[in-house]
Structures are given as C-alpha cells and as structure tokens.
C-alpha cells in the first residue's frame, strides 16, 4: 500500500465514531477541504478524484456515484473513494481498501473498478471473496517531465477550442467512443453527447490544433488541480495520421500549458505499443501501474 502521513486536523468534520476502523461512510460537502488535503498527499495519483471534487463538490449528481471516506483509529481520513458506475479510490491502509470493498457490495450498478494492481487484488478479495477475478486490463500512469526526443518537431499552435469548433469536436469524440466501445454515442443520445462535449469546450478543457480550419488534433483536459492536469481522449484526424502529430502536439502541450510545479499526466494501455512510444517521445515517463476490472 502507499505510505502516507495524514496531517488532517482533529477539528475536521468527522464520520460517525461507530464506524471508525471498520466501515466507510458517505462524505458531505463539509468534508471537502479535508478530502482535498488527503488527496493532495499524492497529487498525480489522485488527480481524477480531486478534480471531480474541485469541479462539482463532493455531493453532486454529476458524479454518478457517491464519495466515501474511511478513517483510522484516530479519526483521520485513511481513504477517499468514488463508489458508483466507475469506482476509484485512494487509500493509505489495507483496512480502508477493505472498507470500500464492503461498501461497494451494496451498489448494484458498478461497471468498472480502477486501482493500483496490488490494491485491486485486495479490494476484490473483500468485494467478491473467492470469486474469480474477471479479465483485467493494465494501464501505465504517465507524467510529463522528461526531455523530448531530439527527432520531435514540437507544434506550438495549440489552443483551447471554441464553440466554433464544436461540430468537429463532437464528430471526433464520437469516433473515439465508437472505436473503443462499438457504441455510436450520436445514435444512442446525440443531444446529451453534444451537450457534454459543449460543456467541456465552454470550460476551456479541450486542447486543439487546427490547420486551415480543419481539426487535426484534440485532447481533453478531464481534471485540473493546483498540482496536475489529467488528459484523456487523444485524437488525430485520420487523414493526418502517420505524421507524428500526436507526439508533436503532446510535446507542445507540455511546453505551452505547464507552469510552476504542475505536471501533465494520463493513462496509457500497457499493450498499446504505438501510444506508449508516442508518449515516450513526447517526454512522458511511467510512474506507476494500474489495472481495471470491467463488470
């Protein structure tokens, strides 16, 4: 497990004493600062959870789930989890992992569990006992910071998308979803899908590069914290693939959008050698390995 030193104040909002050292309980907006302080102990590993809280608070229907906390014998947070359709957690003790697993048994609509591989094994043992673990996909947590390969010509013309590019962004993102899942989001829920893409554009969370008004590259900034930027949804125009634009644009993002101690981070499929190669050339390094169970 990750070793952390919890510095939470005794005056922080507390969960019910009867559950200390055993169970997890829902967090409320009163726990927001305490949860963010706990998550900031490992800011790259927790950028998704912390970003969700910063964007929507702890209590929000946008989460499609509930934030839970687990406390140690002193009443300090030892873990924070989002338990819902997608289940993620940060835990400093095995007791916290076990508590989240017991809590998850009561949630019927969990579709994916994502965690460090050793923690995922512990979670599954308490979640489904001796049941066989479903197929696991493995992912590398990567961060910017290494030197860009000498053969990479960095693209500097990156910017945040505007509503003028929304049609192109919707089409690009729909293509990505279809390639990954086999489901066409424009056939399933065109209005909702367009609305969600538009919200991200309005938030200044879609980084693009256009050539002659045509979208060539885009990636989504899914979560932002004071320490890190989490990206996903990298896409390159099919007509422009094979020219190294992914690597060149990623390198440009690192140069243009990072400041101070911030880092860009993301996940890449262990088995996808092409993506692993382009991220390496763009100056990204592996900091940890995660695994996902799809239910």
Per-residue pLDDT of 155-194, as tens digits, reads: 888 999 999 999 999 999 999 999 988 999 999 899 999 9
What distance in Å separates the CA atoms of residue 143 and residue 121, rounded to the nearest whole number?
Answer: 25
List C-alpha distances in Å: 31 to 67, 103, 194: 10, 19, 33
Per the structure block, which two tokens stand in for 206? 């879609």
What distance in Å separates the CA atoms of residue 81 and residue 69, rounded to the nearest whole number?
Answer: 6
- pLDDT at residue 146, rounded to an integer: 67
Q: Is the model's pLDDT at 6 over the cut of 70?
A: no
SS3 labels along 22-69? CCEEECCHHHHHHHHHHHCCCCCCCHHHHHHHHHHCCCCHHHCEEEEE
- pLDDT at residue 260, rounded to an integer: 56
Q: Identify whether the C-beta of residue 250 lies closer than 8 Å to the C-beta of residue 284.
A: yes
Q: What is the pTM of this model?
A: 0.86
Q: Is the model's pLDDT at 239 over the cut of 50?
A: yes
Element spanning 280, H or E: helix 273-281
């Amino acid at each position: 497990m990750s070793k952390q030193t919890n510095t939470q104040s005794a005056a922080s909002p507390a969960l019910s004493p009867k559950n200390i050292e055993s169970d997890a309980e829902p967090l409320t907006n009163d726990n927001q600062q305490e949860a963010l302080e706990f998550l900031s102990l490992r800011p790259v590993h927790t950028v998704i959870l912390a970003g969700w809280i910063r964007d929507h608070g702890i209590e929000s229907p946008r989460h499609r789930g509930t934030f839970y906390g687990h406390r140690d014998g002193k009443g300090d947070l030892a873990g924070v989890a989002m338990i819902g359709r997608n289940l993620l957690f940060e835990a400093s003790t095995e007791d916290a992992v076990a508590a989240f697993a017991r809590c998850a048994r009561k949630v019927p609509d969990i579709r994916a569990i994502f965690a460090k591989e050793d923690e995922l094994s512990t979670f599954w043992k308490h979640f489904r006992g001796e049941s066989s673990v479903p197929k696991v996909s493995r992912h590398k947590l990567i961060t910017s910071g290494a030197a860009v390969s000498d053969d990479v010509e960095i693209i500097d013309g990156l910017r945040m998308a505007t509503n003028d590019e929304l049609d192109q962004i919707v089409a690009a993102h729909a293509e990505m979803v279809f390639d990954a899942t086999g489901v066409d989001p424009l056939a399933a829920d065109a209005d909702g899908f367009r609305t969600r893409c538009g919200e991200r554009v309005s938030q200044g969370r879609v980084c693009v590069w256009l050539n002659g008004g045509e979208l060539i590259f885009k990636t989504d900034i899914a979560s932002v914290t004071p320490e890190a930027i989490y990206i996903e949804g990298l896409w390159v125009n099919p007509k422009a693939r094979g020219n190294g634009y992914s690597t060149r644009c990623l390198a440009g993002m690192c140069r243009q959008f990072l400041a101070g101690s911030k880092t860009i981070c993301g996940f890449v499929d262990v088995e996808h050698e092409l993506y692993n190669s382009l991220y390496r050339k763009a100056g990204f390094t592996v900091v940890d390995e995660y695994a996902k169970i799809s239910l």
